[in-house]
Each structure stands twice: as structure tokens, then as C-alpha cells.
Amino acid sequence: MWRITPGHKARSPDPHRTQAPGYTRQPVLGYPGSGPDLGPSQIGRGVGDASLQRGGRGHCGTGQKSPGGRAAHTADEVAVVGADDHLRSADQTAAAALAQRAVWMGHHGACLHQRLQVSQPGGLPFTRRKTMRMYDIIAKKRDGGTLDHEELSFAVNGYVAGDVPDYQMSALLMAIYLRGMTDEETAVLTDVMARSGDMVDLSAIAGIKADKHSTGGVGDKTTLVIAPIVAACGVKIAKMSGRGLGHTGGTIDKMEAVPGTRTSLTQEEFFKQVNEIGISVIGQSGKIAAADKKIYALRDVTATVGCIPLIASSIMSKKLAAGSDAILLDVTMGDGAFMKDLDSALELARQMVAIGTAHGRRVAALITDMDKPLGRNIGNSLEVAESMAVLQGKGPTDLTEVCLQLASNMLVLAGKGDMPTCRKLAEGVIADGSAFEKCCQMFAAQGGDISVLRDADKFQKAKYSYELTAPADGYIYKNDVEKIGNASVLLGAGRIKKEDSIDFAAGITMHKKLGDYVKAGESICTFYADDESLFAAAEEMYRGGLVIRDEPPTLPPLVYARVTSDGVERF
């Protein structure tokens, strides 16, 4: 079997001329049905950065011979000669694939193209690649043009491969930020990003696989609640989650607050666990949507994070690559979320649902409130304890309700019935204890000490605590959620930089929340940390977003709307 592997890089006679399209894990430059021999797992870098192998016959690089025995003096010629050898041996599919990668080289590739067209009646699924420059792609988007699949593939895959420099990708991201993208462009960008890394095949796991993604928030611990609920109802959960950064927490950090828990499993372990107990939540592989990780890091330092097409493609590229059949999106809105207003949240949800639906997935989105933290605990072990309380039927009302709505929607997507039926299923597995036991099963299977799940007092405690008190009588009229999240980070519960370590015991327990009445001197919240010198900065941050007035605020709903391919249902 032929495969293309990283190898010798050719020189280009023209520095502006396209060399390799970069990492391309889709069949033959996006053409489906190019045959198993050159499928996603076999296609690596482009021709100008590759050597060819066949069985044990050795590399065919610069100054070596092709599989057919003929000399190939440059890496460019390898593709032409290799494709020609395939043609001689009647391997039409492989010949077409290699010729497609060689055709931009000029005369030899073009002649080979003509021979291939003649040799197979009706022609081949094969088009001449146009010469591209990143400069022209940037200029086109700057001027409001629409980028096609080939242009977006060139930019994204070239950036991942290192052929497109940071400054040019930054310019393109800013052009997208200012000019926007059509729905078609966003869908294409998502597909290209998803295929820039591994595409997970979950077919080895029996049944419907469901996934959920939150756009982030403070105290957002819903995965630890809804994943066991849905799994206890008979739907497989094979989920990859991320870590926290900045004021938003991450599911993997919370899981690792349970001593001994492994969040990095082999594929065999992951599949086996989901098939046996119906659930596993692990850390996202660095090979999933490789382009997203690199592009997001660039967006983070170039003021291009808050762009709906870029947010949608970032989220959905990972969800599509992760392989689940049904995807529920929790789009948070408010002070503690990326989306600050309902119109923006609805547009993001609409785009993501459209992308998922176009890729054959069952997708829905809920717009949920993030003008106040979910529940009362912020911080890793504190949030795990609160999640277990919900699964045991004694958690905070707001967190319980949001989790029931999310779980019910996941069950609907998985085909378990209509909304009232699925709501009863979700409530039932909390009431009978099976959802909590399913959660304990998952942690135990991944090496976690489940005694802390059954008794939260067994969690390691912070050395110090501090009471933040109300400065006056009145209602909590505003309590900025982002500042609450940042206060928890200052206590050690989160990361400012991705390399930072986390204190699992650090965090905040809120005694009074938005809309509650307080008296002067009454405790609003308790801080926890292992270093009492951290309390002053955290208090300043928290109080900076706290407003107390004589009149109560108008409280937002927990869930604003549901978005599906059929439209928007407002609550």
C-alpha cells in the first residue's frame, strides 16, 4: 500500500508559488471516494515535503529511485515519476492522487494529467490546482470577497505546516473579523480545520453517541451532571473535554480534582470503557483539529477572539472531529460569557447548528444565562462536590434545572423520545440514584478515588478561608460574573497562562447571589486558598463588580431559547 510520509522538502523556484498545501488529512485534496490506499490516514504533507514508500522497497526521495525503478532527482519529481509508475501498473486511483499533487509543477505534471485523462474513460476526479499566494487570499478577504475551499485549505493547512507565517495568518484573521464570512465560507473553514488533524471514528462503539459543548462560563460544571444522567438513560457518552483558561473553568481540571483520576486514555481503553459502562470523559487529544489550537492561540493575542464565524468554526471543528452522532451546544450569554447579548448568542447558535446539520449530525443549541454563576461553588473540588449533590437530588435549584434541560435535549437528539418523555427519564435517573452511580462508575474506571464523590468532606481542604461581607443593606443588583471568575483565578483555582498549575481546593462559595437581599456585615461569599496573601487581590476583584441597591434587579431566565435546524424557540 502506498503512503505519503514526511520527508525531503523541495525548493520552490518561485517563493510566491504554492509548494505544498500543508497537512491535508482529507482524501486527495478534498475529493471524496479516492480509494482506501490514499485515505485520510495515509495522506500527510504535500508533495514538496514528502517521500514515498511501498512495502519494504524503501524511500523514494531526492537522488533515489521510484518504486518502478526510475531515478527521481528532486522531491518534486518523485510525485510525477511515482504517479507515472502507478499509471504503468494500471493503478489509476493512486496515479490520479499523486498526479493531482504534482500538476502544479508544470510541464511534467500537466503531461501526466493528459495521459491520465486519456487512460480512463470519462476522465478522472482531478482538477488542476491554481497557483496561489497568501497575499492574494488576504487581499481578497480584506476587500470583502468570498474565499473558496481551495483558498481556505491553502491558508489553514499552510499555517499548520509552517509554510504560512504568523503575520500573514494574523492579517487574514483580522480581515475575517472585520469583513465576516458567509455561511458557506464558515462551513468550509470548519471542515478544513476539522480535517487538519485526526478524525475520530467511533463506529467501534455500539449505538448512538452523544456529545455536549459549552461555550464557557463561571461555575459551569454541567458536564459532570448531564453526562452521567444521559448515560444512565442508555445513551453512550464518548466525550473529549478541555481545561480551563482565564476566568472560565474546564471539565478536565475538575475531574482531576478527584484524586487518581486519569483523563488521558488510549483509544482502546476509551472505546472499551464506553462499550462496557456507557460513559467516558477524557482530555482532548492534541491531534484533534490541529489547526484550531494553533489558530486560537493567534486569535487570543491579535484581538480576533470575538468573531462569530471564527468561534463557530473553532467549536464545531473539534466537535465534528470527535465523531459523535448527536451534539448539544450550550451557548452561554451574559457577563461571564463570550456572547454578551441574545442576538449574538442566537447567531452563533444558528451557525453552529447549520454546520453540524450540513455534516449529517443531529444538533441543537440552548441559549443559557451566564449573568450569574451556575450553582454556588466556583473552583475545582468545590464544583465536583456540588455536581454530586445535584446527582443525589440535593443540589442548587438553578444548576439542577439547567442540567435537566440540557440532559433532556441530549436525550431527544439521541432518539429517546419527545421532550416531556426525556425530561421524565432525566428526573427518574436522579431520583433512583442511577445517574450518581453511573458517575461513580466512570471515575472508578478511570482510576479516581470515588470516596470523595460519596463524601465531599474527604476532599483536601484549603489551608485558609476568608469571609467577604456586604458593605451595606440592600439587594445585590449586579455581581459581575467575569470578575467573580477572575477572583477565583487569583485564589489559585484557575490559570492565567496555560502553563500555570492549579490549586484544586481553592475557590469561592457564594452565600448571596444576584437578586438576594443582604445586610451590612453579612457574608456574601467565602474565599478558599492555601496562601492567605491572595485574599486582598481577590477581594478587590470581586468587589469591583458588586453593586448593592435598595431595589431588586430584574432576574434573567435560566434558558432563553432553543435553536434547531427548524428554527428558534424562545422561552
Question: Which of the residues are catalytic?
Answer: 213, 292, 299, 314, 318
Burial (CB count within 10 angstroms: exposed 0-12, middle 13-18, buried 19+), residue 477: middle
- CA torsion angle 64 70 76 79 (round to 10): -110
- Per the listing, cell 447571589 goes with 513
Least Cα distance to 47 among 84, 70, 67, 22 occurs for 22
List strand residue ranges (DSSP E) for 370-521, in order: 377-378, 464-469, 474-479, 507-510, 517-518
Cβ atoms within 10 Å, residue 279: 22
- CA torsion angle 301 304 305 310 (round to 10): -130
Burial (CB count within 10 angstroms: exposed 0-12, middle 13-18, buried 19+), residue 287: middle
Distance CA 381, CA 120 (A): 64
Least Cα distance to 136 among 184, 160, 171 occurs for 171
Helix (H, G, I), strand (E, B) or coil at 571: coil
The DSSP secondary-structure symbol of 104 reads G
- CA torsion angle 392 394 395 399 (round to 10): 80
Pairing of strands 474-479, 209-214: unpaired
Q: Please check whether residue 320 is in contact with residue 356, taking contact to mean a CB–CB distance below 8 angstroms.
A: yes
Burial (CB count within 10 angstroms: exposed 0-12, middle 13-18, buried 19+), residue 169: buried
Partners of residue 331 on adjacent β-strands: 367
Residues in the chain: 571
